[in-house]
Amino acid sequence: MRVHVSIHDVSPAYEGEVIHLLDLCHARGIKPALLVVPNFHGRAPLPDAPAFVDSVRSLSASHELFLHGYYHRSTAREGVRAFVDQRIVSAGEAEFSNLTIGECAELVNAGTEMMRELGLRIDGFVPPAWTMAHGLLEVLTARGCEYTEDHLTVRRPKTGETWPSLVVNFASRSRTRALTTTLFSRLSMMLSLDVRTRVALHPTDLRVPFLHGEIARLLDWAKTQELSTAAQLLSA
Ligand SMILES: [Zn+2]
């Protein structure tokens, strides 16, 4: 089975956790994709952390780099749909859930520009909490983006190619959800369905003690699979 491993929320705000997750992956020969947030919650702009940026740039020689939102925080609006997306699905992190096409373009452009100025390559775009406003895909398509994903698919916006894909991650913001997602993670390892699978690690997972063992187990399993890049997930 093709398995893609990534570390989300790569930001100076989570430097210690990102290093910890990288160590866990590297100890198993896994080179995870890094999902970089240009200015996490408006309080961790990459240009203010040159040593962190240098490390990410050197890692990019052997790791994929994806742009992962801009602030990674929603400009919360009212309404049932917004409430579900923000409070339940993502605890306020679904930055692109309710934006106009113009707002999507503005954030994608600002993030792209910052990465370019810092000499960081961009291999694709992954929206925070995998939540896409309708306009986001149009923006990514217009930019010739090579890779994006949501909960159920991986996609090359440039050509429109789309494949079904499963995400295995731990929802570490609440204990109940952490338990549910752990069960799901164990189940998908057991079943080893023949489907493109994405293992997504989050810095906040490390705050839940029992998830440390689950992450190790998941990575031990991942290294026995066909470890793949995004481009490999998108090939037939
Ligand atoms: Zn994220």
Q: Which residues surround ligand 1, an ion (CB under 5 A)?
A: 8-9, 128
Q: Is the pLDDT of residue 82 over 80?
A: no
Helix runs in the chain, H state only:
15-26, 50-59, 80-83, 101-117, 134-142, 175-191, 209-222, 230-233
- Give 213 Cα–ligand 1 centroid separation in angstroms: 21
Residue 17 CB contacts under 8 Å (≥ 6 apart), including other chains: 203, 204, 206
Residue 187 CB contacts under 8 Å (≥ 6 apart), including other chains: none
Q: What is the mean pLDDT of residues 18-34?
A: 98
Q: Are 10 and 53 in contact (CB under 8 A)?
A: no
Q: Are 190 and 1 in contact (CB under 8 A)?
A: no
Q: Is the pLDDT of residue 19 over 50?
A: yes
pLDDT of residue 74: 76
- Give 126 Cα–ligand 1 centroid separation in angstroms: 8
Mean pLDDT of the chain: 88
**Residue pLDDT, tens place only, 163-203:** 999 888 887 666 566 566 666 666 666 666 678 999 999 99
- Give 79 Cα–ligand 1 centroid separation in angstroms: 23
DSSP string, 65-77: EEE--SSSS----
pLDDT interval class at 45 (50, 70, 90): very high
SS3 136: helix
pLDDT of residue 87: 47
This prediction's pTM: 0.88
Fold category of 2-233 in CATH: TIM Barrel (3.20.20)
Place of tokens 């952390």: 49
| Domain spans of the chain, in order of start | 2-233
Residue 43 CB contacts under 8 Å (≥ 6 apart), including other chains: 13
